[in-house]
Amino acid sequence: MRKKNFYKVLSVIIILIVIVVVNYFEPSSDEITKSAYESLKYEKFYGEVQEKFYDRKNHNHPTIILRNEFGMQDVLLVRDRSGLFNYIESGDSISKIYGKYEVRLKRIGIDTVFVLSYQ
């Protein structure tokens, strides 16, 4: 009986140690956001906005569907706080140059630039 309890307690302790170690080495949500933001700098996209939505299958990230001469392109704006997603409408034209955070938006009578930001 004592041996059985010893193994139960030992199992619980081992599981707790594993959970603590995994949580310690797992990247924080801020680190994940910063990494996503850095990778967004090296994306290039342009085209006419076909649709915008929160992608429930992909952590509910704001997503824009663009159409250009190559077909359709999905753009994820992971935790972007620039206001671009709220401002954009179907039919707008947007473009982003590789290596920059600026997104140019054109609409009838409007030509503006948003700077993508996660802070």
Confidence of residue 1 (pLDDT cuts 50, 70, 90): low
Q: Express each pLDDT in 36-88 by its tens digit.
A: 778 888 889 999 999 999 999 888 889 999 999 999 999 988 778 899 999 99
User: Domains, the chain, ranges and CATH?
Assistant: 31-115 (2.40.50)
Percentages (nearest 5) of helix, strand, coil residues in the chain? 35, 35, 30
Position 117 pLDDT exceeds 60: yes
Of the two residues 29 and 105, the one the predictor is more confident about is 105
DSSP assignments along 26-44, one per residue: SPPHHHHHHHHHHHHHT--
Q: Any bridge partners for residue 65, and if so which?
A: 51, 74
Of the two residues 112 and 3, the one the predictor is more confident about is 112
Of the two residues 29 and 5, the one the predictor is more confident about is 5
Q: Give me the chain's average pLDDT, please.
A: 87
How many residues can be counted in the chain?
119
